[in-house]
Structure 1
């Protein structure tokens, strides 16, 4: 990425990240939109921030294990402080691509409000680590409502355009082979596309 290095940029935002209710709302809607996942072994939350989607999955899906990954040490520190002490959530400072997981290891991959920060290499990586029948759920902002600051815009990858409509959001998932792709749009004023796709069995 060009411009501001991503870890310092998000380390600086970590202390106020939880103050924005948009993050929690998106994470909960992503998890709620999944098809039923009986006894998932592993849920991976990519670019977890302070863990909204990881913790929503822990509550709603009752997985054996949640892996929450982010490049920002401060975001991971803040997320870990919110975690139950039962050891089911692993907080890992690591890049979103590549994921340090074997092929077919995960039942669910989540990415809430972060794909546009990671870039086009992320969806193929999600498909790789998902088992047949596994699900990906991610959100991206609606282009018309996305107005990043100059510093934030400088950190965005050039290989993934923020989509303008639901068809464009669906193409991100279909392009890497996800099936049964569904897209919904959240309410204004900060609309996002919620995208769900399955790995064919």
Structure 2
């Protein structure tokens, strides 16, 4: 079984019992940092249950929103949530690889990735720079080293080239090394867990 197949299967099995409340709160914190603007063309990368896409759709500032994930189960959950919230027309759900994003070069204003970059690998950052227009922004979250304990099938799926940050400076250094500028990062607490939320601009 390829890594992609393993990833899809692992998240398909998780989809029915996903912690929506936790990921919805992370999405709100991420959008508070990034502050999407009117008319932004946006993508929710490795969107899972679509928490970021749904929160972004609720703002009404960026539609349609591309939401892409390798797990058909996660996409099904996200699509169902969107329909129940009356947001079906605001989000373009796609099952497929998140890297590369299925968009033309320099076509997006905003790339968002919540709770997934450590599965995608460093190459995601290069692809986001390709997909973003000059001046476009990226926003993502990463777990905190001291709380990061992947287990089971997920332990084998962690990208070895994404350093899990221990400090805000670690998160800033990671995104800056990929060529982004004007980087900001915060350590935010979500229930009993903490994550780093970061944003930066494509030069």
TM-score w.r.t. the length of structure 1 is 0.92
Residue in structure 2 matched with residue 169 of structure 1 by the alignment: 171
Contact 1:3 1:154 in 2 (8 A): no
Which 5+ residue runs of structure 2 have no aligned equivalent? none
Q: Following the alignment from structure 1 to structure 2, what is the Cα–Cα distance between the partners of residues 82 and 37?
A: 24
Q: Following the alignment from structure 1 to structure 2, what is the Cα–Cα distance between the partners of residues 151 and 100?
A: 27
1:101–1:170 distance in 2 versus 1, CA, 3 Å: same
Residue in structure 2 matched with residue 81 of structure 1 by the alignment: 80
Contact 1:136 1:198 in 2 (8 A): yes
Pairing 1:14–2:18 present:
no
131, 134, 138: which one pairs with 1:132? 134
Contact 2:8 2:71 in 1 (8 A): yes
SS in 2 for 1:153: helix
85, 92, 95: which one pairs with 2:94? 92
Name the structure with the higher helix share. 2
Residue in structure 1 matched with residue 63 of structure 2 by the alignment: 64
1:38–1:161 distance in 2 versus 1, CA, 3 Å: same
Residue in structure 2 matched with residue 114 of structure 1 by the alignment: 116
Residue in structure 1 matched with residue 195 of structure 2 by the alignment: 192
Q: Pick which of 168-177 and 73-82 moved more.
A: 168-177
Pairing 1:155–2:157 present:
yes
Which contiguous aligned blocks of 4+ residues in structure 1 show a shift greater than 4 angstroms? 1-4
Contact 1:68 1:91 in 2 (8 A): yes
TM-score w.r.t. the length of structure 2 is 0.91
1:20–1:80 distance in 2 versus 1, CA, 3 Å: closer
